[in-house]
Amino acid sequence: MAFDYDLFVIGGGSGGVRAARVAAAEGVRVALAEEDRYGGTCVIRGCVPKKLMVYASEFPQAFELARAYGWSVTDDGFSWGAFKTRLNAELDRLEGIYRNLLSGSGVETHDARATLIDPHTVELSDGRRFSAQHILIAVGGRPVLPQVQGIEHAITSNEMFHLDALPRRMIIVGGGYIASEFAGIMNGLGTEVLQFYRGDQILRGFDAEAIEHVASGMRVHGVDIRTNTNVASIEKTEHGLSVTDTNGAVHQVDQVMFATGRAPNTDGLGLEALGVELGRKGEIIVDAYSQTKVPSIYAVGDVTDRANLTPVAIREGMAFVDTVFKGVPSAPDHDLIPTAIFTQPEMGTIGLSEAEAEAQEKVHVYITSFKSMREGFGGVEERVFMKLIVSQETDKLLGCHIVAPHAGEMIQLAGIAVKMGATKADFDRTVAVHPTMAEELVTMRNPTRSS
């Protein structure tokens, strides 16, 4: 049977665009459908605008430091409007690049929603149908809101980039990446931030001690983190929102943002009728090669809820092309993924937390904590924290956790070493780069404790 295309990709985010481009470069006839903007969550309403907002929010501290370093700096305040205009222009530019990358590599794009009709046919929202030998679903995820009285008055991270005005006071609900990053951003931009987390400590699942440093650093910066606290109800008032928390306290705020998790965008795609298996959250169940139960249908990225990170979606997309179109079966590697959390202070992490490592084997734990030279000179309290978790049996690094300015940059490089199976002896014989913060990673001589 002759198909219209060899590959039809649904979703123009990080995973879908990469797979489409790389496949087209192999001479594969590729189409891609996107119902919204090209670039997906990462470019349009995630990593990229978020990071630009992090940069914007760091200036008050930079001004303070500049003065301490002898500069005369006048701070006339932050213009959200001016920033938003530039941000939107940048996102338009990036979206244009994504579109050009697709057209330049010969991918036919359809600005429409696509649903599946059978294992080889998609239907677009304009009614047109196309057949394809393979279909790749890369439709990503969306924020989910819990059922709380008055939830219709709350926003999610999607709306944070479009606010008409900066809130004077806001509540951010959740203790994950998104809530914790936005708490720092909004605090830096001048909003009074209350962060509600239902458990004992934010960023559950990461190394407990590293998180302790992040949370105390966030508090020093001014974020009011309320643990064991959730929203009970939200009421709209004449002046804003009146929020009652689960401890009975009432807060008057301008905005409430929920970052209480994300769900895969599988609703209404027609997947279950075809026999594509979905998990509890609606995620597409795939094998190691991103193939679903229906052999012609594959899925990559957040819609599969494996590791919901852009670089992972990109790797999954490329491995899919290797497997299906290059004849090289490739399973994306989800082991030892380095990641950064752009909280203030920032955290970079790879591998096991101390608790996870200890549950597995006997370990040595190396810890250092010190004042950052740059900030310390300027009288700004910014403590750096670094922890290495080392196997007693093999001397290999099992985990590395860094809380420091630019920790994301550091963990990218430390991540290579850890991924290569570096031992503590390898770290020790590497000469320190002086004077840096990262040099402390190779100068920790004696374990702080051993299990």
Q: Which residues are catalytic?
A: 434
Question: Is residue 204 involved in binding ligand NDP (CB under 6 A)?
Answer: yes
Question: Is residue 306 involved in binding ligand NDP (CB under 6 A)?
Answer: no
User: Smaller CB distance to ligand NDP: residue 317 or 424?
Assistant: 317
Question: Is residue 29 involved in binding ligand NDP (CB under 6 A)?
Answer: no
DSSP letter, residue 278: B
Q: Which stretch binds ligand NDP (CB under 6 A): 96-104, 114-122, 256-264, 266-274?
A: 256-264
Cα separation of the two ends of the chain? 63
User: Smaller CB distance to ligand NDP: residue 261 or 447?
Assistant: 261
Comparing every residue's Cβ against ligand NDP, the nearest one is: 176
Dmax of the chain from CA atoms?
74
Question: Is residue 199 involved in binding ligand NDP (CB under 6 A)?
Answer: yes
Question: Is residue 146 involved in binding ligand NDP (CB under 6 A)?
Answer: yes
Q: Which stretch binds ligand NDP (CB under 6 A): 2-10, 163-171, 334-342, 414-422?
A: 334-342
Distance between CA atoms of residues 428 and 445, nearest Å = 8
What are the φ/ψ torsions at residue 111 (nearest 5 degrees)? -85, 75
Question: Is residue 262 involved in binding ligand NDP (CB under 6 A)?
Answer: yes
User: Cβ of residue 198: shortest distance to ligand NDP, in angstroms?
Assistant: 5
HSE-CB of 158 using CA atoms within 13 angstroms: 14
User: Cβ of residue 261: shortest distance to ligand NDP, in angstroms?
Assistant: 4
Number of residues that bind ligand NDP (CB under 6 A): 24
CB 43 within 8 A of CB 94: yes
Q: Token match 């690049």: residue?
A: 97
Residue choice 84, 142, 198, 383 for contact with ligand NDP (CB under 6 A) = 198
User: Cβ of residue 258: shortest distance to ligand NDP, in angstroms?
Assistant: 8
Question: Is residue 173 involved in binding ligand NDP (CB under 6 A)?
Answer: yes
Q: Which two tokens stand for residue 62?
A: 């930079």
Distance between CA atoms of residues 160 and 182, nearest Å = 9
Residue choice 12, 15, 40, 174 for contact with ligand NDP (CB under 6 A) = 174
| HEC assignment per residue over 151-220 | HHHCECHHHHCCCCCCCCEEEEECCCHHHHHHHHHHHHHCCEEEEEECCCCCCCCCCHHHHHHHHHHHHH
Distance between CA atoms of residues 334 and 25, nearest Å = 25
Question: Is residue 210 involved in binding ligand NDP (CB under 6 A)?
Answer: no
Q: Which stretch binds ligand NDP (CB under 6 A): 14-22, 191-199, 242-250, 374-382?
A: 191-199
CB 338 within 8 A of CB 348: yes
Contacts of 172 (CB under 8 A, 6+ apart): 179, 182, 183, 186, 193, 194, 195, 196, 256, 257, 259
Binders of ligand NDP in range 214-233 (CB under 6 A) = 230
User: Smaller CB distance to ligand NDP: residue 132 or 172?
Assistant: 172
Question: Is residue 206 involved in binding ligand NDP (CB under 6 A)?
Answer: no
What are the φ/ψ torsions at residue 406 (nearest 5 degrees)? 65, 25
Question: Is residue 175 involved in binding ligand NDP (CB under 6 A)?
Answer: yes
Residues that bind ligand NDP (CB under 6 A): 146, 173-179, 181, 197-199, 204, 230, 259-262, 308-309, 339-342
